[in-house]
Structure 1
Amino acid sequence: MTKNLEIYQQFAGLFRYPRADFVEELVELRNQLEMLHLGDLIEFEKYANYMLALNLQEREEIFLKTFEIQAICHLEIGYVLFGEDYKRGLFLAGMKEEHRKRDHDCGLELPDHLSNVLDLLSGMDDEELVKDIAELALIPGVRAMLSAFDEKQIRGRLELLKKKQEAIVQEELNYGNPYRYALDSLLKALEADFPGVPEGRQDQAAGNFIPIHRAEGGEISVCALARPPAELVQGD
């Protein structure tokens, strides 16, 4: 168990649009993972070796192909867990409030973007809230993202695009995509810090697990998603 939450701020950089300092950040993360003795780093090394062999433009292209253009998966945790259900909006509002309370700038991404949630986790001192965000949002969300890289799912998605007669962009990047290894490395770190999360929680129906956290005075900081919005407004 690492319980060094700062490592998640470094992981966050892997899931942002690549910047000029990408190599330095990647090497620093690799060094930190080795120091924390997380065990098998084979998956991380696969990601690191792949990305270090590319120039900045190539890194940008593979990021866009993976997460933006005919995306393999999405990085917004609320969308991954809840789709277009109203619960996604509640979760997004709750995460926005947590970022606001900590003066955290989400940049151009939404508050539930994986990079922003990892940044948030790394700077939190509320142990109960850290545990809930990790176990009820991050771990199920990352598992769901990883499932999108399954070859069967990829084949089905590509076949659907072909049926729609859409030109497939860089089809070869759907298989052996390095971000699969980045997500796998992140999941291993999370599961080491927060063990015992049931596999079933990556299902959208499992979104009902996100609890309410109330501050003094009744402020809701993270939304309860098992109830209709009206009940949240009225309170318990």
Structure 2
Amino acid sequence: MKRDHYTTLSRLFDYPDESYNSLVTNMISELGSEYPDASEELEAFSKLLPTDIYQLQEIYTKSFEVQAVTSLEIGYLLYGDDYTRGEVMVHLSKEHKIVGNELGTELSDHLGNVLRLLPKMQDEAVIHDLVTMMIGPAVEVMMKEYSPKNMEAKDKLYKKQYKTLIVPSIPVGMFLHLIKALYMILDNDFTLIKENKPFGDASFLGFLSAELEVEEGKKSSNSCAPTFDTSGVMTGSSCGGCV
């Protein structure tokens, strides 16, 4: 099975540059015949994209990085900053290295990096497990984070923590079209397991709330969230006391 479309799709989850809007347009055309539903979602996405690159970059940052709606790091979406995520990142780093997949400045479990990995892998069984057991469930979590209820809850949480919101939630909702398009393509290619919860009911909002509670000192100093480098090796913890 050819999977070159995942290489192009991966770029849509990277930090936008001047070529971003044309990439979306080209992807709509590329997917049109084989993935019509996904192409329609990207069409809706393209109509909401600002032409000003700085505005687009600001919305991207608000969506995925600062006061984020969701994360693009699939290991974090499934496990939070748990040791299991570190193990996943180590295994992913090995797969990236085997096929020469460059990670850039992002972590090994970043969605863009993982999508770029798919066309380069050879073992069909491993590819299938990676998609159905990790990428698919993580993308499901992403879609759920865009529900009005979850977005409102995150806005309240951020406003409480930081006293202000960088960008209101309404414009960042446009990225849901992109995420839905990806889910449709994955489902078409691999037949995803709907509502698959092998790792429990993961919630970016839940992980976020826990992290902010730690920052506010509401949790015991013995409760440590490990941090990892790009290869998944633990480099420290949020409380500084666990190594």
What pairs with 1:31-180 in structure 2 (closer than 5 Å)?
A: 31-39=29-37, 41-51=39-49, 53-164=50-161, 166-171=163-168, 173-174=169-170, 177-180=173-176
For residues 69-109 of structure 1, what are the alpha-carbon distances to aligned partners after superposition, in whole Å with 9 as ceiling and x for unaligned? 10010100000001021110000000001000111110000
Distance change >3 Å, CA 180–CA 143, structure 1 → 2: same
Match of 2:200 in 1: 205
Distance 1:56 1:145, change over 3 A: same
Displacement after TM superposition at 1:205 (Å): 2.5
In 1, the alpha carbon distance for the partners of 2:171 and 2:199 equals 25
Rounded to whole Å, the distance in 1 between the matches of 2:201 and 2:98 is 27
Q: List aligned pairs for 1:20-31, cutoff 5 A.
A: 20-31=18-29
Q: Secondary structure at the match of 1:95?
A: helix
Mapped partners of 1:113, 1:198: distance in 2: 22
Match of 1:193 among 184, 189, 196: 189
Question: Unaligned regions of 5+ residues in structure 1, if any?
Answer: 208-236
Any idea what SS the aligned residue of 2:106 has? coil
Distance change (3 Å), C-alpha of 1:39 and 1:100:
same
**Superposition RMSD on alpha carbons, in Å?**
2.1
* Deviation for aligned residue 1:164: 3.5
Q: What residue identity is the alignment partner of 2:23?
A: E
Runs of 4+ in structure 1 off by over 4 angstroms are none
> 1:92, 1:111 within 8 Å by CA — same for their partners in 2?
yes
Tell me the distance in 2 between the aligned counterparts of 1:27 and 1:40.
13
Shift of 1:59: 1.3
CA deviation vs aligned residue, 1:204-226 (integer Å, no higher than 9, x gap): 4279xxxxxxxxxxxxxxxxxxx
CA–CA separation in structure 2 for the residues paired with 1:177 and 1:165:
21
Matched-pair identity in % = 27
CA contact (8 A) 1:72 1:174 kept: no
The answer to whether the Cα contact below 8 Å between 2:38 and 2:184 also exists between their aligned partners in 1 is no
TM-score when scaled to structure 1?
Answer: 0.79
Distance 1:24 1:160 in 2: 35
Amino acid aligned to 2:64: F
2:12 to 14, 19, 29: 14
Equivalenced residue count is: 203
Contact 1:142–1:183 at 8 Å: present in 2 too?
Answer: yes
Q: Secondary structure at the match of 1:84?
A: coil
1:30–1:74 CA distance, 2 compared to 1 (3 A): same
Q: Deviations over 1:30-54 (max 9, x none)?
A: 1111132434633221111212x42
Counterparts of 1:193 and 1:20, CA distance in 2: 30
Distance 2:174 2:113 in 1: 21
